[in-house]
């Protein structure tokens, strides 16, 4: 069974601090990986995704994530956070073997950025 672990449940940072949110997955095959963000009062929306190719993927708003296959990880990073990055972040995984594959989400990390 596939699973996703997000180690940080609640992170508090000052503006301009660097961010790294951990995500580890368990899946017996090739994967697609996602980070979603949910700003207060808004829909879940895609931040970035990895399907294949360059393991370092860049998303919106200066976020990036690196897929390290040997570590089953897909950590999210941002060099300098802003107050507007306050949100909840979800890592997700799905299989990559064709057809429809179920999406499994992590428990989420709440990020609070202090001005």
Partner 1 sequence: SAVISQKPSRDICQRGTSLTIQCQVDSQVTMMFWYRQQPGQSLTLIATANQGSEATYESGFVIDKFPISRPNLTFSTLTVSNMSPEDSSIYLCSTRQETYTEAFFGQGTRLTVV
Under the rule (CB under 8 A), what is the footprint of partner 1? 4, 9, 32, 34, 36, 42-46, 49, 51, 90, 92, 94-103, 105-108
Q: Which helix (H) or strand (E) holds 19?
A: strand 19-21
- Determine the Cα–Cα distance for residues 29 and 50; give it in Å rounded to an integer: 15
Distance of CA 42 to the CA centre of its chain: 17
Q: Which is nearer to partner 1, 52 or 70 (CB)?
A: 52
Closer residue to partner 1 in complex, CB, 42/70:
42
Q: How far is the CB of 21 from partner 1 (least distance, A)?
A: 15
Backbone angles phi, psi at 46, to 5 degrees: -75, 135
Q: Residue 51 or 83: which CB sits closer to partner 1?
A: 51
Name which of 60, 8, 5 is nearest 37 in CA terms.
60
CB of 103 to partner 1, least distance (A): 6
Least Cβ distance, residue 27 to partner 1 (angstroms)? 13
């Amino acid at each position: 069974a596939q699973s996703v672990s997000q180690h940080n449940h609640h992170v508090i940072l000052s503006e301009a601090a660097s961010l790294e949110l951990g995500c580890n997955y368990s899946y017996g095959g090739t994967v697609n990986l996602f980070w979603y963000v949910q700003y207060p009062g808004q829909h879940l929306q895609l931040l970035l995704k990895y399907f294949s190719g360059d393991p370092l993927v860049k998303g919106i708003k200066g976020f990036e994530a690196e897929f390290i296959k040997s570590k089953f990880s897909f950590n999210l990073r941002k060099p300098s956070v802003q107050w507007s990055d306050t949100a909840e972040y979800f890592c997700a995984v799905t299989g990559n073997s064709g057809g429809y594959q179920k999406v499994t989400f992590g428990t989420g990390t709440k990020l609070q950025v202090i001005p």
